[in-house]
Amino acid sequence: MMPLILAALLAGLLAGCSVIPKSEPVRLFTLPAPTLPASNETIRELTLRVDTPGASAPLDGRRLLIMPTPGEFQAYGGARWRDDAPRLLRDHLIEALRRDGRLAAVIDDTGRARSEAALTSHLGAFHVRYREGTPEVVVRLDVQLLDDRSREVRASRRVEAVVTSNDESLDAVVAAFGRAADQLAVEVVDWTLSTLD
């Protein structure tokens, strides 16, 4: 009889409180939409495909990364990007090219539409680093413009944006990622359009 009473008391205690601590909710972030203005130039009857950048770990994941010392990656706790970093940046570039409006169509690498040219790239940096105690965001892409029929490289370039965060808070850091992605997009859009001439 006593073991049954103890079992009932234990079950009641466990139902009333949990011994497992509640985890903090994970905040999901995305890059803000590009702020590039529309171009007034004539639309070119050309379809450009923007491929998802290649990336090595940990840059290919959804963690918001910080490099407190050279060569060491850490991640912000309780925060994730809504998608992995290469796809976030691909979507940002596509939206920037579409807003620019100088191309007839801009597509991603998930569709089956034909394209005359392709923008391929490798993501070399997408993280926060500290310089003299101040956090700054670094985004770097090595981009190549390909002729989609011959697959020959028409041109290649390294593009990097470095933006200082207003402070160390997560919201300020994410805003700095947005400004860095915008700077990078401006360079990539202008370089791509001038190379296609």
pLDDT digits over 175-193, tens only?
A: 999 999 999 999 999 999 9
User: Can you tell me the mean pLDDT for 32-59?
Assistant: 93
Average pLDDT, the chain: 89
CB 143 within 8 A of CB 103: no
Cα–Cα distance for residue pair 159/140, rounded to 1 Å: 6
| Residue predicted with more confidence, 1 or 128 | 128
- Residues 106/108/113/114 CA torsion (nearest 10 deg): 70
Q: What is the pLDDT of residue 73?
A: 95
- What is the model's pTM? 0.85
| pLDDT over threshold 70, residue 10 | no
| Among the ranges given (5-9, 86-90, 159-163), the one the predictor scored with the smallest mean pLDDT | 5-9
- Structure confidence at residue 20 (pLDDT): 54
Q: Give pLDDT, residue 22.
A: 61
- pLDDT at position 148: 83
Q: Does the structure show a pLDDT above 50 at 165? A: yes
More confident residue, 7 or 91: 91
- What is the mean predicted confidence (pLDDT) over 128-154? 93
* pLDDT above 50 (res 74): yes
Quote the crossing angle between the two packed helices 85-100 and 170-196, to the nearest 10°: 50
Q: DSSP assignment of the chain, as one string?
A: -HHHHHHHHHHHHHHHS-SSPPPPPPEEE-PPPP-PPPP-SPPEEEEEEEPPPB--TTTTSSEEEEEEETTEEEEEEEEEESS-HHHHHHHHHHHHHHHH--EEEEEETTS----SEEEEEEEEEEEEEEETTEEEEEEEEEEEEEETTT--EEEEEEEEEEEE-SSSSHHHHHHHHHHHHHHHHHHHHHHHHHHH-
Average pLDDT in the 68-92 region? 95
Q: Which CATH architecture has domain 34-196?
A: 3-Layer(aba) Sandwich (3.40)
Task: Map out the domains of the chain as residue ranges.
Answer: 34-196
